[in-house]
Structure 1
Amino acid sequence: MSYYIKRILTTGLLLQCTTLVAQELDPRSYIDLPTGQNFFGALYVYTEGDIYTSPDIPVENLTLEIDGPAFAYAHTFELFGNSSKIDIVGGQACSYGEAVYLGEDVSRKYCGMTDTRVRLNYNFYGAKAKTMSEFVKHPKGVVVGASLQVSAPTGQYDDQYILNIGANRWFFKPEIGASMPFGAWELDLSISAKIFTDNNDLQGNKTFEQDPIYNVQSHLIYDFGPGHWISLNGNYFWGGDTFVDGEQTANKEANYRAGITYSKAINSQHSFKLLANKGITTNRGNDSVVYAIAWAYRWD
């Protein structure tokens, strides 16, 4: 049974945390998992560069250095007869940022709590709910699912500043995705839309609005063995035009990111993960880099 426990251990959680700081590149979001499993994950993230194409604030030439820990909890359960998962992610970050706002240079060094994100995954094809004893007898197959992620404005925000840890607004991210194994390989595909509410407390009592950001991502994964895999990741995202008090402030061009993820199970309960990703186009300054190291613990 340890083979299968290692298999689920390294696919249950860790990359959820990295969505705090970069356009999502999240392999194995839609896979078959046994019900009744719990995961706790912790990671350290460092990112630097011009991240204008992952906008949360209406500025130009935004460059940031961000680092800090993030934490996540996930639980698998049965929903309408199929396997499902809910996870919650939060963290703390310190950042130094520089930008141009209304033609003036602004900068700030600051630390605080990040916004909290909750996601519900529901696999509606190829993943009937199974206990661990049932799961170990079931071969891998094609899985198709959907998810809804919600980000709550719990992070530190001060309307006296343009640069903040928190965004002071909600977003809702519906997504549909699939996992398609073939031998030791696996292809993951997904498409999503990130829909934002307004920030009505922008500096100067202004209202900040943003159009949805659309994201298509793919992952080519190779399994070295139980709980041991590597993934080449890529995405294409577009949209996200921004407005201040109804006046357009930025027109976001389509961009690409690419990265790599390496995951290894230490035993049936513990695993670690390394990842890196980078913008591979520079439309509107998509040249940030992200590095992270993560650990996860699983229990029944």
Structure 2
Amino acid sequence: MRKRLLFVCFALAVSHASAQFTDPHTYDNTPVGTNQIELAYAFARSDSSLDTSLIVSGAKLDVNQGSIQYARYFGFLHRLAWVQPGIPIAGLNGSISGINISGSTVGTGDSSYMLAMLLKGGPALSMAQFENYNPTTVIGASLTVTAPTGFYNSSKLLNLGSDRWSFKPEIALSQPFGPEQKWQLDVYANTYFYTDNTSYRGVEILRQQPLAGLEGHISYSFTNSVWAAVDTRYSFRGETLVNGVDQNNSQQNFILGSEVNVSLNARNSLVFEWARALAHQNGPAISGFAVKYDYSWGRGYR
């Protein structure tokens, strides 16, 4: 029984560890034709489970994750749009205190695919046109799909994949303000929808209700190349059923984080992130940090 609980603790780890926030400034207008590669390293630690369907007291879990994402910005109906696929590669270590059970694994996690568009305040501009663009109120929308491409074996103790699809529609509002518009407020509303995991704990069926979330990010630009943000996320609901039996585990989670973005030049930038769950009712008690490197190129870049 203990081994089955530990298996549950580790399933879905990577996908939830790496998707706590939508980054601030995600919906900033960008010149069409821009390409961006992002290489990231993230570390996450949990005092219980990272699986949103079950919390296991005494579990200790460390995730070391590398990821690569590619973004392509283009014009659609005279508005800015972009696509962004990504895939993580992770190492996972865990144990349950008080008993002699531990394990580790390395492999790929579930891949993600984002399609987004600016609905207001984001005209499709070339690099030359963008030089005269003044930031304004932006309303954007996106859909992120996570595919069950990660390592998952119902007979194994540790799993990096979730063995189910998820869909996250999101609506965003970005508002610059203050002297010289150095401040920016980003507000996001999103909901995760999940398909069933039909091999949960080997033979059971896991069904999860939608997990809704609200995010607020406030950032300040110290210079044209350095800005910092404070990030918050509140998520709720997401109760689960196992073989049709309600687990009575509706969630209420509050996560606080921060981010610093440093543009080294027009093509290269570094991002430093930190996050911690301050409240986690039936959710993961997670803390972690990430370091990202972004490289951009396209017509007009120097």
Same fold (TM over 0.5): yes
Write the distance in 1 (CA, Å) between the matches of 2:15 and 2:117.
Answer: 21
Whether the aligned pair in 2 keeps the contact of 1:58 and 1:208 (CA below 8 Å) is: no
Q: CA deviation at 1:108?
A: 3.1
CA RMSD of aligned residues (A): 2.2
Of the three residues 26, 45, 48, the one matched with 1:48 is 45
Q: Which shifted more, 202-211 or 85-94?
A: 202-211
Write the distance in 1 (CA, Å) between the matches of 2:202 and 2:63.
Answer: 25
Identity of aligned residues (%): 27
Q: 2:160 is matched with which residue?
A: 165
Flag as ranges the 4+ runs of structure 1 deviating above 6 A.
none
- Note the residue ranges of structure 2 that are not aligned, 5 or more in a row: 1-13
Write the distance in 1 (CA, Å) between the matches of 2:195 and 2:101.
Answer: 25
Equivalent residue letter for 2:268: H
With the length of structure 2 as denominator, give the TM-score of the two structures. 0.87
Equivalent residue letter for 2:123: K
> What does residue range 28-39 of structure 1 map to in structure 2 within 5 Å?
28-39=25-36
CA gap 1:96/1:23 in 2 versus in 1, 3 angstroms:
same
With the length of structure 1 as denominator, give the TM-score of the two structures. 0.87
Give the secondary structure class of the aligned counterpart of 1:29: coil
Is 1:72 equivalent to 2:51 in the alignment? no
Equivalent residue letter for 2:94: G
> What does residue range 124-203 of structure 1 map to in structure 2 within 5 Å?
124-161=119-156, 163-182=158-177, 183-203=181-201
Q: CA deviation at 1:34?
A: 1.1
Give the secondary structure class of the aligned counterpart of 2:186: strand
- Note the residue ranges of structure 1 that are not aligned, 5 or more in a row: 1-16
Of the three residues 276, 279, 285, the one matched with 1:278 is 276
Equivalent pairs counted in the alignment come to 280
Whether the aligned pair in 1 keeps the contact of 2:55 and 2:282 (CA below 8 Å) is: no
Write the distance in 2 (CA, Å) between the matches of 1:283 and 1:57.
Answer: 12
Q: CA deviation at 1:97?
A: 2.7
Q: Which shifted more, 248-257 or 174-183?
A: 248-257
Write the distance in 2 (CA, Å) between the matches of 1:280 and 1:181.
Answer: 28
Write the distance in 1 (CA, Å) between the matches of 2:124 and 2:88.
Answer: 31
CA gap 1:25/1:278 in 2 versus in 1, 3 angstroms:
farther
Q: 2:267 is matched with which residue?
A: 269
Give the secondary structure class of the aligned counterpart of 2:160: coil
